[in-house]
Amino acid sequence: MSVNEEKTEQMYPMFLEDSASMLQSLHRSLMKMEREPGNMDIVHDAFRLAHSMKSEAAYVGHTAAAELLHTLESGLEDIRRGGKPVDRETIDALLSSVDGIQNVLSADGGKKAGIPAGGSREGGAPDSAGFSMFELKLLEEARERGEHFYRLVCEFDRGSSMKHARLYLLVSNLEKIVNVVKLAPDVDEVKTLEENFSTAVVYFTSSRDLDAVYEAVNINDILKYHLTPLSFKNILGENGSDKSGIPAEEGNSPEPSRGFEPGPASDQVRMEKDLFDELVSNISQFQYKIQGLKEASQTLKPAPPEESLSLSAMSDTLQELLQKVRMVSLKDKEAQLSRFVRELSRQLQKSILFVPLGFGIKVERKLVETIHECLLHLVRNAVDHGIEGTEERVGSGKNESGNIVVSINGRNGSTCVQVLDDGRGLEESAVRARALSMGYGEDRLRGLDLLSILSLPGFSTKLNATGASGRGVGLDIIRQKLVQVPGSNLRLFTRPGQGTCFTLELPARFNVSVLIIGKRGDAIVAVPKSSCGTVEVCEAGQFTSDEKGLLWYKNLPVFTEMGRLGAKKLPSGTGYMLFLRHFQAEACLFLEELLFEKTIAEDIFKEVEQGNAAVLEGIAGSPGTKIVYFDPGSIQK
């Protein structure tokens, strides 16, 4: 390998990492361009980003990405020179280019970007269709409902006429019995590709038997079809549980499940360079002071009082710096949410002006996804349920375009998120009547306010579910999410005929700890996930003992919740070894069963560490259950 080749190979991972950030910036710029079509500064910024990415792609030899970036750059250049207007069609084309670039880079970088991994279409061409944010959300909800996920590939007779009509009939048949997530290509595209069109791919979810699906595809001019069960994990990643019970398709099978796979998150944390330098400098000073105290202890000389004060001040400074590291901006979520509204409003044939405000605010890193998921559900409700169709709006004296405003700000020690629409609003009497018609009895509804009724599992104001909503899971999911965030709150204000406002309040500072809950004998055992590595089923041949009669597993000391395990108490039957690390010490914790993970607030975790019995019982979920907190520090001793 030449010096240049070696240098390029070293830079390739850096290129992929930088590209992810630059693509987010491009995405934001394009969404701003649509909102501010006359602002050429945004166009110039996007052009410079595309040009820089193209240069880097060419330098590391990524020809496919460089060509796609050249196309994007050319489109932006046409706008700069006044040859192309900034309209919906132009933004569609530019966003499509960004999606294509992201798909190509994600496939190379092994990162999840909504690309169905593996598998191929008939003829061996790779299936590289990307999923939009809206489609990914549909998949997430299908996984929550325990549905199965499939890909249907249909090959049409090239010589037949009106293939787009056959495709329309196919999709219409399927939509009656399953939840169609994505069609590639869509019917409109097939009209323009009529002569060259031969293969269609349908992604759908369902909990039904497949007999009805096979009947739905029994259409003239479909020569053959291939139905493949997919794994949600290949597209959505590991977050959440895959309840479908369907194995991943061949070539993408995950590791065999062992009940629980703890381990550190693979996501990287970015921070500003100045903040990073300051953090490193303070840690170095702290280490220097600690070394001085060690040397003083060896000479039995007491440390001067000012040393203790200095260490205390350094500790406070480190705490402040770490708090800054934990705070991240919601800017990337602004672009994603804007794109989500854009796609959903087009699907529902509604004209909507989306106004995001305050997304530059910084919030706790661990709250970002909670805020984002809550916003997706609230905004989708606003688009689908809140904003009326054009005819209804005009008939009630409103503008043709509906308005949705998402505002985020910090106040009174909390983060306030509001989703406001000027749609049809909610009539409480109508909502209660709908709940009764769905089978919720008077006794269950008595005493519930409007928000509580709307949040009932399975409740929806829609008579029929669609791909956009109507399953009755949105507000229920939000309520479940907020249960995990102490100090959070959701409020509703609505006026029939005028609009609705949801207000979400979250603590400005929030940190959580995750406990792994397992079982040995009658004892429930809790151990912090941050100290856990991998887990594996015990292998009898890996146990050894030392001269003191203590048990070892793969050369690591074996513990239970009671302490070190002796060779005379060698585990019998099946069980799991949870590999632990605490500073430089390593050990194994033996458990007979792995039950679940429990996320708890930082202040509650401190009570757990202190052995608060009431708190431990609450975590177990059953009063009187014996539960033991395993302190990872004990393996150090």
Q: Which amino acid is at 110?
A: G
Task: Specify whether 244 is located in the same domain as 369.
Answer: no
Task: Specify whether 295 is located in the same domain as 241.
Answer: no
280 within a domain of the structure (yes/no): yes
The pLDDT value recorded for residue 243 is: 44
Task: Specify whether 19 is located in the same domain as 126.
Answer: no
Task: Round to the nearest angstrom and report the end-to-end CA distance of the chain.
Answer: 49
Task: Specify whether 302 is located in the same domain as 231.
Answer: no
pLDDT digit string (tens) for 492-535? Answer: 999 999 999 999 998 877 766 788 888 888 888 889 888 888 88
CA-to-CA separations, 601 to 370, 372, 453, 485, in angstroms, rounded = 15, 20, 28, 7
The pLDDT value recorded for residue 299 is: 67
pLDDT digit string (tens) for 32-60? Answer: 898 888 888 898 888 888 888 887 787 77
523-528 β-sheet, strand order: 593-601, 512-520, 523-528, 627-629
pLDDT digit string (tens) for 275-294? Answer: 666 666 666 666 666 666 66
* Domain count along the chain: 5
Q: Quickly count helices (H) and strands (E) in the chain.
A: 20, 22
Structural domain span for residue 621: 512-635
Where is 558: in which H helix or E strand? strand 556-560
In 255-351, the DSSP E strands lie at 327-329
For residues 51 and 45, what is the distance between their CA atoms, to the nearest angstrom?
10
Token pair in block for residue 443: 């006794």
Task: Specify whether 301 is located in the same domain as 408.
Answer: no
Task: Specify whether 213 is located in the same domain as 277.
Answer: no
Q: What confidence category does residue 296 fall into, taking pLDDT thresholds of 50, 70 and 90?
A: low
The pLDDT value recorded for residue 397 is: 92
Q: Is the pLDDT of residue 105 over 90?
A: no
Task: Specify whether 178 is located in the same domain as 157.
Answer: yes
| Residue after which a domain boundary falls, among 66, 92, 109 | 109
Q: pTM score > 0.85 for this model?
A: no
For residues 593 and 576, what is the distance between their CA atoms, to the nearest angstrom?
7
What is the domain-level CATH number for residue 19? 1.20.120.160
Task: Specify whether 492 is located in the same domain as 517.
Answer: no
H helices of 81-115, in order, are: 88-109
Task: Find tokens 């850096």 and name the residue.
Answer: 14
Report residue 531: phi and psi, to 5°.
Answer: -95, 0
Residue 369 three-state SS: helix
| Residues 6+ positions from 346 with CB-CB distance below 8 Å | none
453 within a domain of the structure (yes/no): yes
Q: Is the pLDDT of residue 302 over 80?
A: no
